[in-house]
């Protein structure tokens, strides 16, 4: 880990700018019922702080779980749960969630905060070793999909919670469980593909494109569902 303030600053900008652009995109889709900017800022920061909590938990999982598949699932589970908690800690027993679209907006905001710090930390090493843009696009391609992955995974959970906003207690809990299962499954599948490609020296650019094509298909589905939830208001 470098102590060079210039590299740390560049890494922070490189991590946070994509997240802010994505946040602007999603907020733009909900202009009729905008959430308080101050509250969104707090949740975004809470998402960033969640990274600090997640890292030692994932390291602990790595020491006690020998199965690679279970590690991937548990790592994804921890991240999805912590992004959810970043929202709940702030909004518990408040009346800020009064429309179905509020859930995906707040969860996506926390996810983008999480991705911002995670990607910033990820960028420090290649920047400190003088990696070129080409190097970032090939050997460090995970960075390109992390922001989108976190957004879509949390978006799925938020959509499920938004759909169940006015349902009974059991149905809400069922939607929460299903939302978590879908988010963790997507996260785990993507990470599994990335780890497999990264560990295969013969992997080519086409295989990388296939993984990101899969993620973009899921993203388009989430966007369509997001629009459906927005109209529920």
Using CA atoms, how far apart are residues 64 and 58, in angstroms rounded to an integer?
Answer: 10
Give the separation between CA 7 and CA 128, rounded to whole angstroms.
6
Question: How many Å from the N-terminal Cα to the C-terminal Cα in the chain?
Answer: 47
Q: What pTM value is reported for the model?
A: 0.89
Measured from the Cβ of residue 193, the count of other Cβ atoms closer than 10 Å reads 18
Q: How would you class 136 by CB atoms within 10 Å of its CB: exposed for 0-12, middle for 13-18, buried for 19 or more?
A: middle
Answer whether 110's CB lies under 8 Å from 83's CB.
yes
How far is it, in rounded angstroms, from Cα 121 to Cα 11? 7
C-beta separation of 103 from 165 below 8 A: yes
* DSSP three-state, residue 228: helix
- Distance, CA of 105 to CA of 159 (rounded, Å): 9
- The pair of three-digit structure tokens given for residue 137, joined into one six-digit string: 């696009």
Output the tens digit of pLDDT for each of the chain's 233 residues. Answer: 567 777 788 778 878 888 898 899 988 877 777 888 999 999 999 999 999 999 999 999 999 999 989 999 999 999 999 999 999 999 988 888 888 999 999 999 999 999 999 988 887 776 676 654 544 553 345 556 788 999 999 999 999 999 998 888 899 999 999 999 999 999 999 888 878 776 665 556 677 788 888 888 999 999 999 999 988 86
**Alpha-carbon span 54 to 149, nearest angstrom:** 17
């Amino acid at each position: 880990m470098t102590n060079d303030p210039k590299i740390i600053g560049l890494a922070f900008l490189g991590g946070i700018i994509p997240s802010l652009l994505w946040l602007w995109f999603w907020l733009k889709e909900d202009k009729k019922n905008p959430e308080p900017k101050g509250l969104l800022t707090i949740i975004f920061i809470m998402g960033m702080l969640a990274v600090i909590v997640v890292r030692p938990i994932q390291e602990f999982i790595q020491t006690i779980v020998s199965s690679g598949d279970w590690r991937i699932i548990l790592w994804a589970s921890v991240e999805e749960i912590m992004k959810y908690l970043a929202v709940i800690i702030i909004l518990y027993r408040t009346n800020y969630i009064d429309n179905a679209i509020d859930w995906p907006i707040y969860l996506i905001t926390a996810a983008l905060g999480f991705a911002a710090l995670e990607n910033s930390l990820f960028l420090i090493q290649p920047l400190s070793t003088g990696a070129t843009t080409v190097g970032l696009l090939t050997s460090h391609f995970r960075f390109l999909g992390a922001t989108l992955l976190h957004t879509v995974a949390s978006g799925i959970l938020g959509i499920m919670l938004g759909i169940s906003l006015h349902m009974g207690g059991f149905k809400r809990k069922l939607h929460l469980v299903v939302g978590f299962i879908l988010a963790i499954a997507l996260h785990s599948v993507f990470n599994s593909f990335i780890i497999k490609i990264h560990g295969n020296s013969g992997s080519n650019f086409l295989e990388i494109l296939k993984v990101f094509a899969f993620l973009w298909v899921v993203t388009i589905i989430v966007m369509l569902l997001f629009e459906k939830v927005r109209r529920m208001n």
